[in-house]
Structure 1
């Protein structure tokens, strides 16, 4: 008599996840539609990694992905070139990286009072306020830059 092996059980989600090393990377078109798709796929990936939809960490991370992707489309766009989204998780650390192909336009954090006067400029203030650290570096393998943000999840 043969028996079937047991089906895998989906792990129980906890409020303070400890991630094994996870990585996700994908290129998207430098369009508003590409930025939306990046945010949606990031949300699905985070849920699969144990950061459930509706949690504070999920909302925060998808907002960060949305902002950095929108910046890549608005300020880092070169016609015909894509932007890349990379997500990685290890331990309780989650990292978001968005790479575009426009290296001469570097991100700058404006003063909160200056951001209130104009139509834009508040996105990186949000990223700075919601993450533990953020920054950017020029691409070593071609034109462009990578803007990154790190969030420690479950370390309250």
Structure 2
């Protein structure tokens, strides 16, 4: 697992994309970087509202499984606000609301969980081989450990 701490500001999204692109296998890079960008944009948007109250940095994790090359990306933000369900559709003229649809379309699996220390972790997994989506628990097989 590789971890990056970033301030909850819009410029952090580009920093995280460039950082993650160097760590990811080429066949999963584009999808994983795009999804990471969506997850981090959501975290920055949520944390920006908390910034005046001393919001913590956002943690970005990338885990490439050495056995099979599968990838898990995760973003931890200081907000306890739960992740909304992905919408079934979005109006054509809407400015927002497509991020979770994109995550659902590109990731093998994804979800979120509250952190025991506060905040939440939102994650997405990418598989090298085509495989049916998992059912059951909403935590990844290789659960993000959280940055120290």
Query: What range describes the TM-score normalised by the shorter chain of this pair?
Result: 0.7 to 0.9
- Counterpart selection for 1:72 from 43, 47, 50: 43
Stretches of structure 2 that go unaligned for 5 or more consecutive residues are 132-148
Residue in 2 that maps onto 1:31: 9
1:124 is paired with a residue whose SS is helix
Matches within 5 A, 1:3-152: 23-46=1-24, 51-52=25-26, 55=27, 57-77=28-48, 78-79=50-51, 80=54, 81-90=56-65, 91-112=68-89, 114-141=90-117, 143-152=118-127
Alignment length (residue pairs): 125
Q: Which has the larger radius of gyration?
A: 1
TM-score (norm 2): 0.77
Cα distance, 1:105 vs. partner? Answer: 4.4
Divergent runs of 4+, >4 A: none
Cα distance, 1:100 vs. partner? Answer: 0.3
Structure with bigger strand share is: 1
Stretches of structure 1 that go unaligned for 5 or more consecutive residues are 1-22
CA distance in 2, matches of 1:115, 1:76: 26
TM-score (norm 1): 0.73
